[in-house]
């Protein structure tokens, strides 16, 4: 019998969003797709950004996506987003909780033949309604279900972090290549206007050469039951670094459009021993880039954080909150950022569906996921060795 991962899934901190879709084609270092959009609000002032006209995308067939895991993020973010997408739809579900099935079938018009358990998941190979799966399981199960999906010849969107080890991430990539399917990661903020603007500010050196980056992300888990998968090292792979810290790694990398060459790190003090017997409570680290820029980062499961900031030769920028599902705010040395709030999960999945349909590889790829796992593992190695400088290979 296969393990039932669904029982490990608590509700994520989620905020159901009803914003209209908007996506610019400017990639700020990455070649994003562009879509026809219904704008919600506008942009103005120093941070004004125009939206492009729709482009002909050719193949108009919507791709069917099956959500693997029906926890809080799938229920409150991904599934509602799939009601708004133009290039994909919710075709199937995979769950270990039978009591959820009727409600999901009714809400999303899912036929019986497109409902799977973790035991019969591999039979998805015989279902032409399902073109791709979205893995929304605890981190330690990403590799197993990505590889099983690849063997079933289904494209894969995998939630972050891609895996809990470099070896598993490589196995996932190899399985997808061997079965001629694409693997991409659920990095939704590549489609969010405030974060896209930061990519432009840093990569295009709008305010001159970047001098430093600051990235912090966390929330307080100590008021919850300690018996959740996020605090189980086997399932989570680690503590806040593997959950919230990956946003900081991403933020620093996409600010510069570079990969760090080395890291140094240290674990924070454990003040809630009942919760943090297996994983860190907090962690601080620095990422060193080839051009000399240092990104000062931290992540915590005992403190609310949400910052992405940068300083350059002739100006600065700051997003706070920077990584939330809604309510992002930003400013620069030239004034407030005034961008619409968007449904970035819908934009993310539409772009990924287009890449599957058109056989065009997104830069938000399995290779990017592997890169980030290498960085995360290097951070842990440094912290375990009293802040030793660890190079990124």
Q: Which residues carry out catalysis?
A: 160, 247
- Best CA proximity match to 166, nearest among 374, 368, 364: 374
Q: Which H or E element spans position 248? A: helix 246-256
Chain centroid to CA 142: how far? 13
CB 237 within 8 A of CB 164: yes
Q: Which H or E element spans position 115? A: strand 115-116
- Separation between Cα atoms, residue 83 and residue 379, nearest integer Å: 38
- Separation between Cα atoms, residue 132 and residue 155, nearest integer Å: 4
Residues 77-92 as b/e (b if ≥16 CB within 10 A, e otherwise) read bbbbbbebbbbbbbbb
Cis peptide before 257 (omega within 30 of 0): no
Q: Which H or E element spans position 156? A: strand 155-158
């Amino acid at each position: 019998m296969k393990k039932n991962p669904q029982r490990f899934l608590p509700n994520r901190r989620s905020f159901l969003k009803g914003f209209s879709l908007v996506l610019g084609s400017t990639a700020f270092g990455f070649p994003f797709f562009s879509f026809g959009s219904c704008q919600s609000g506008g942009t103005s002032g120093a941070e004004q950004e125009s939206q492009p006209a729709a482009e002909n995308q050719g193949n108009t067939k919507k791709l069917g996506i099956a959500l693997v895991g029906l926890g809080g993020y799938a229920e409150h973010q991904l599934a509602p987003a799939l009601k708004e997408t133009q290039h994909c739809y919710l075709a199937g579900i995979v769950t270990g909780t039978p009591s959820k099935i009727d409600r999901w079938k009714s809400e999303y018009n899912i036929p019986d033949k497109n409902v799977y358990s973790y035991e019969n998941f591999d039979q998805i190979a015989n279902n032409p309604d399902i073109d791709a799966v979205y893995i929304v399981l605890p981190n330690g199960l990403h590799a197993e279900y990505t590889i099983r999906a690849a063997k079933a010849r289904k494209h894969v969107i995998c939630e972050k972090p891609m895996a809990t080890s470099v070896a598993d991430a490589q196995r996932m990539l190899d399985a997808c290549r061997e079965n001629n399917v694409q693997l991409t990661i659920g990095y939704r903020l590549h489609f969010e206007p405030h974060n896209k603007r930061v990519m432009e500010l840093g990569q295009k050196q709008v305010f001159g050469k970047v001098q430093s980056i600051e990235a912090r992300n966390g929330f307080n888990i100590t008021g919850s039951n300690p018996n959740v998968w996020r605090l189980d090292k086997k399932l989570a792979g680690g503590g806040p670094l593997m959950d919230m810290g990956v946003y900081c790694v991403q933020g620093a990398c996409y600010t510069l459009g570079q990969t760090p060459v080395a890291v140094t790190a240290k674990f924070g003090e454990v003040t809630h021993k009942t919760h943090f017997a297996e994983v860190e409570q907090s962690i601080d680290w620095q990422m060193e880039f080839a051009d000399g820029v240092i990104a000062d980062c931290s992540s915590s499961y005992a403190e609310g954080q949400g910052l992405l900031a940068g300083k350059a030769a002739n100006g600065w920028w700051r997003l706070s909150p920077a990584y939330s599902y809604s309510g992002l705010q930003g400013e620069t040395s030239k004034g407030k950022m005034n961008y619409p709030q968007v449904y970035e999960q819908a934009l993310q999945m539409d772009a990924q569906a287009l890449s599957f349909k058109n056989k065009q590889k997104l830069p938000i790829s399995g290779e990017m996921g592997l890169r980030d796992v290498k960085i995360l593992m290097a951070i842990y190695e440094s912290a375990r060795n009293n802040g030793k400088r660890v190079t990124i290979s």
